[in-house]
Structure 1
């Protein structure tokens, strides 16, 4: 009887039996919705004509839940739900702070855009092989990675999203796709193995996998070789998944092989999950070790930006060019993780605003450290990159369909034939180069200012040079594919066998105008809104950066108490 009472007492100490309100389920609903709709689509595998009518509402529900979760977190602070009622750190935690909610909401937005685009861009045969179920599976993994508060659970969600991405990558079963999938699978196998080794090592050191618990314990431990080894292992694993130099070679070899809508999903989301994990683990769990590795991260960021910009200039195929633009963007984000601590940025970013309330809020943030300014800029740029890279690939897919080829040598004349598409593409190209008044401008300003304040002018120069190279690459793409007339020789040969076969390949599942322009216009609207009125997003990314660098609210959400 005494033993039984002892067990009951221990159980009472380890579990929570309080009331759970319906609003609390917002934390896990994005994952549950993805699996629910994915399973329903699998059951309807013999009725692929029904898939869009179920998938689009499902993606709309996912986006709505993500927005509701973001509003709740912005108003109330980080939210936590423990699986099975176990108290932390015994159970698996779903903990979402402002950064996780921002990433999840933007991911839901681009998934909805791609889902609508895919109605016309994915043929019925490819739907039969599971495009929409694989999309929901991948989004379940992406959402879980952004919302989990357990580092082994983060590894699990990486595996879930990779399973979904493997299915999307080989959709079509062409030789080029299988070749790209082999490279993609091998490099991700290496990355996930490193991730798992580091997680096993971490559990041996801390005896826990809860991120809040690790952050508390790591803050009390001396920074020694053991913790530094853990930080280096995670840096390498996440750098490989994010396609940072010198581990970026797998991305150009694989992202050009699937359908354009699949490439858009990959370019927008998958590398950003690696970036998100790097920010979460290095800056929240191991800040002293991150500070020690800051010079290394800075060199990685600079080389990634330059390699991406030069690689984009060297390409003659639209998708291969955009693959290197993705890499350059990853380098820009990494620059925000490479800044030293303790350096103050005296002038806040948005003091030039004419709005008095905004100016007062900006003035209140004077004295913000270079690291916090840079991290806010990095998060802002990551959100911008998710939207812009998705839009670029989708717009390139329409252009390739209209020309019957994705080679710049075979494209032209789209400005006269399709001016709306050309204008949208120009907006995305300006944004990705960091030109005003679009969304890529403000985060680059923040990163350049933070780099100069941190006495790293060479890093600021790398950001500017990368933007200049992307401007040239974008101008070249637009001039060849849109502005110049279609070469007369190619126009005369448009009925030849080679051109006919190439055209059939694209037109077999070509995006029709209405279904392609709706998501493109929505993505372009975000790019313009975040560039012309940046305060609303800058305010959120400032809060997200502060929550990562000073995670007291995150810890109190998990363990209770006042932050």
Structure 2
């Protein structure tokens, strides 16, 4: 059973999606989706334990060894991100069920659960892929599923936003496919475990061109500025649970692909100045864009773009401390960003609008909703003792230890971005979370006029899911020590991939 374990995070959601197509009662469909994700979460937790104690867990699908067949690889980094991502996906699914997202019509409910399980399949395949082509396939599975989720029961604006998202993603995919063809022509393989040594044998100019093209392709999917424009226009238009799962997972898959490919295929011994500049620009421009927004969901979307820069910070340093900081930040951000968007869904549902200037006239949303937003907001802003502070501290310590102009510029930009993030969250606080009731003689605020407000409520499932994500964020801070140790071991794996290559190819076949 252990040998087949890496296949289960991909296989089980696909089987669940197939079963959803049968004419089943709504309650059975909901139970099936949540049950599948629960089992997948247990399998991934087991994978994480095995990968940490025994090394990378490898499955050669069909018994065909690499590079002939499809290889699934779960090492410390991929298993950790798999576990956290599925935990978030499960919580968001519970929130969506409580909200009734796309479940007013039977066919829409089936399509929602089908697309959601396929989205999880794509995410799992991306984390487990042992070659570039299957990584491309994983991105395409995520694209197909995410387009369905964005446009399900959509109006004209959501359809337009979905088209923008799809066109940009397809352009990125075409570039990615072209890159894979060029790499295969130059090296004769697309297996990640083989590519590093073979790319090193190429002329420096060609090797550098491949590294830059891969950074550009994954930069679009990761929303690195200036390749970010599609995200703030598409994410805020979807229902809050869909936005939450997209914000938590999709860009992090791109970050994972950058961490994996740049360290395994294009190893460096010093700071990557180009990526450092991209990280600085992404942090500063992204958070300035957030401050300029009046719409709550667009504000959070720009904040998401900005904080991608923190994850690039550690990768740009190309050392153990920096990569440990990036890994901690990815784990923290997956959970906290999901918690923020779920809480924002509750706030918008209570206020009936996502516009901050209109929220000032809405009634107080309630202490629980305020807490569910405030805790992840403080964590994202880097307020101690929350997980965001711990992850940012790890990055700042890595920058100080590295030294040099680029590292110090990264650290200074990270501090400035943290302060501006706090300011952006304060704007939300003053507008939405301390809203006043109408004064004596003042006309009451108009009735909620957004579809979200009319169709959503703050049911127990929604509150439980948002609270679960908030508590998980607090747990990351409480268990920061063991998590940092695991992150350090994962960073060492990235910088010294001999065990990865040996597990995939076998001893003596590197």
In structure 2, the residue matched to 1:37 is 16
| Counterpart pick for 1:479 among 430, 454, 458 | 430
Q: Does 1:306 align with 2:257?
A: no
SS at 1:440 equivalent: helix
In structure 2, the residue matched to 1:461 is 412
SS at 1:95 equivalent: strand
Contact 1:238–1:274, Cα closer than 8 Å, also in 2: yes
Structure-2-length-normalised TM-score = 0.94
In structure 1, the residue matched to 2:139 is 158
CA deviation after TM superposition for structure 1 residue 487, in Å: 4.8
Write out aligned runs for 1:1-150 (5 A).
22-44=1-23, 47-121=25-99, 122-125=101-104, 128-129=107-108, 130-150=111-131
| Counterpart pick for 1:402 among 350, 355, 375 | 350
In structure 2, the residue matched to 1:262 is 242
- Structure 2: which 5+ runs fail to align? none
> 1:66–1:131: structure 2 CA closer, same or farther, 3 Å change rule?
same
SS at 1:169 equivalent: helix
When the two structures are aligned, how many residues end up with a matched partner? Answer: 503
In structure 1, the residue matched to 2:500 is 554
In 2, distance between residues paired with 1:295 and 1:89? 33
Q: Does 1:231 align with 2:179?
A: no
In 2, distance between residues paired with 1:170 and 1:484? 32
CA deviation after TM superposition for structure 1 residue 254, in Å: 0.8
Structure-1-length-normalised TM-score = 0.86
Contact 1:415–1:422, Cα closer than 8 Å, also in 2: no
Q: Deviations over 1:182-215 (max 9, x none)?
A: 1101111111111111111111111111111112
Write out aligned runs for 1:323-362 (5 A).
323-339=301-317
| Counterpart pick for 2:479 among 512, 533, 537 | 533
In structure 2, the residue matched to 1:356 is none
> 1:61–1:435: structure 2 CA closer, same or farther, 3 Å change rule?
same
In 2, distance between residues paired with 1:466 and 1:424? 23
Q: Does 1:212 align with 2:212?
A: no
Q: Deviations over 1:130-187 (max 9, x none)?
A: 1111100011000000011111010001100111000001122211101111110111
In 1, distance between residues paired with 2:448 and 2:427? 26
What's the Cα RMSD here?
2.0
In our comparison, the structure showing a higher alpha carbon Rg is 1
In structure 2, the residue matched to 1:358 is none
In 1, distance between residues paired with 2:281 and 2:253? 21
In 2, distance between residues paired with 1:67 and 1:487? 50
In structure 2, the residue matched to 1:515 is 461
- Structure 1: which 5+ runs fail to align? 1-21, 341-370
Contact 2:438–2:444, Cα closer than 8 Å, also in 1: no
CA deviation after TM superposition for structure 1 residue 501, in Å: 3.6
Contact 1:412–1:487, Cα closer than 8 Å, also in 2: no
Contact 1:318–1:408, Cα closer than 8 Å, also in 2: yes
In 2, distance between residues paired with 1:198 and 1:42? 36
In structure 2, the residue matched to 1:420 is 368
SS at 1:406 equivalent: coil
